[in-house]
Structure 1
């Protein structure tokens, strides 16, 4: 009876809050607190303890650094160089801008590890450019929305760090496991973008010459080298994933400030505030999930549902 009552209160309050437009993290915490008071046998003091425990992990320190690195690349000129190289490489094909969109998501994802950073950097550049070139708005937005989630698959990835923390798995193994699915996703999107563009006779960009291709490659090389630096350092045990996230920030500062010379105090401040907001959102959800999981364990929900499933 406790399980039925607590589960109903827990899920009901969360669903009600989400329908009202309450942020997800606050909805989860509100539902968990309502379930604690509805049960009566749990001490409400456990709530702040579990909320803190959900964020108290050394491995989670990599999240704000990766987000800051992604924000710096988005605003510091790195993403523009990657996009220019991708355009020069595949712009000559049918749907070249869309294919370039996907390739940029792969390259940018291997650096920032965040779909949010990827979408803000690539979408803000590609969607207006594709619409101006004559591509339909729905096609431009659709390919961007479909390619941006590649970022959490390509290492380094914030999603893998969070998953490794929750499930107590190896972050490095999860990083390596995401490479093949990410590349398969990218290949499927490239083929679909080319096929749709060819069937609808979408515009084709002029082919870039060998000199233009080489020039954009050389300019983008510092950004292209970043994923190899991070993954190579982690695989060779030179530094951990958390240390790699800090190295990413330092590298992004050096490349944006000294190589591309586009870093300013305003850009630095905007990058920091963006990373702080995104980090707070992720951490609050993790804290709420910790309390949510504890409440389910308190009423033995996993064992009860497991026994019910086994009985069938």
Structure 2
């Protein structure tokens, strides 16, 4: 086990891509054990991506990019501004609410940060908010994206753990709403302390106009979740429906997507999907090799020697994932950690749906935590704020996210209520 981890860490340190690090480490371990079979390597790589569920990944990516390339994000922002902009902290609340709504369409934190982020930060600056606060709340609110369905990390976890993606989507709704409320409470506190501006209270006419403009985009998460649990389509088919719906809205209803825009969107989606597909393929090989080497059994015995109950185990998992999330991209972290964590999850009888939400939430916090938080870098570039200044401003938001993490960790009923209500 020590040799296996040493090789993997060494490849990470020399900046070898995650997929190649996992694949090369697996091959080296097979060679050391003298049982390398090239046909088996090919089968394991293909087996990782030869999955109907994994088709949802490029489709949700495409849906998010179609939304970003049209004016739908602006419609969502305007509607949220009318709904909560008059509260103390004004556009800070709009920022959070917009991310919660947009998350029901794209499923990724980076799409939220890159798509809505520029609109949100520009509007907040124009209204008199500081660049560092605008960037911090934009980064923090973007973490809601992969919690509220649809969610790409939930799809990857579902594939890795053999868990219903539909159940995971439902399980993320209450934690996502709880996160949004917690962030808005913090925004209200900071607004009062720093005397931030607020928007004028809108008239009912303004509300109905904004609702009319944003109504069809707002229907996206309802169509996805309703379709899955209405038995109309599967979670993977829901991703295809999301693509068609986003395309029809952007091209034919609002007419803000040009045919010439499709080529860059499709090229970007293909590139990102290929990267994620390679990671998943190599992760499948990696998982098979470490299972054959009985590494999870060694870790199982080690952890069980001092984690005497489920609560202790969950505390350890949270600490480990928070650390991993600061160094590793979300999809990579899930694919690498799941072969190790799943046997422990079963040993301590943690519900796999509850565990999935805990895993994804931890890694979302990692996206805004140095040294390698991807969203942190995206927002730093968009807001033109030094990454160290942005990190300092983010500290209270990270603290409030950790409080929410503890709540969903130790009160599983909050996470499992909706899946259980719908019969999983």
Q: TM-score range by the shorter chain?
A: over 0.9
The residue correspondences of 1:24-39 to structure 2 (distance < 5 A) are: 24-39=18-33
In structure 1, C-alpha distance between the alignment counterparts of 2:198 and 2:304, rounded to whole Å = 57
Q: 1:261 aligns with which of 234, 255, 261?
A: 255
2:45 aligns with 51
Q: 2:223 aligns with which of 223, 226, 229?
A: 229
2:86 aligns with 92
Q: Which range is displaced more, 78-87 or 108-117?
A: 108-117
1:274 aligns with 268
* Secondary structure in structure 2 of the residue aligned to 1:42: coil
In structure 2, C-alpha distance between the alignment counterparts of 1:308 and 1:22, rounded to whole Å = 29
* CA offset digits 1:107-144 (Å, max 9, x no partner): 11111212221111111211222223222222111111
The residue correspondences of 1:269-308 to structure 2 (distance < 5 A) are: 269-308=263-302
TM-score scaled to structure 2, two decimals? 0.69
2:122 aligns with 128
Q: Which range is displaced more, 201-210 or 86-95?
A: 201-210
TM-aligned CA deviation for residue 309 of structure 1: 4.0
Larger Rg: 1
In structure 2, C-alpha distance between the alignment counterparts of 1:304 and 1:239, rounded to whole Å = 41
Change (3 A) 1:46 1:77: same
In structure 1, C-alpha distance between the alignment counterparts of 2:239 and 2:122, rounded to whole Å = 31
* Root-mean-square deviation over aligned CA pairs: 1.7
Matched, 1:214 2:229: no
* Secondary structure in structure 1 of the residue aligned to 2:143: helix
2:111 aligns with 117
TM-aligned CA deviation for residue 248 of structure 1: 1.0
Matched, 1:242 2:244: no
In structure 2, C-alpha distance between the alignment counterparts of 1:130 and 1:169, rounded to whole Å = 40
In structure 2, C-alpha distance between the alignment counterparts of 1:131 and 1:21, rounded to whole Å = 36
Counterpart contact for 1:33–1:44, Cα < 8 Å: no
Q: How many corresponding residue pairs?
A: 306
Counterpart contact for 1:36–1:44, Cα < 8 Å: no
Name structure 1 gaps, 5 residues minimum: 1-6
Name structure 2 gaps, 5 residues minimum: 307-424
1:195 aligns with 189
1:3 aligns with none
2:160 aligns with 166
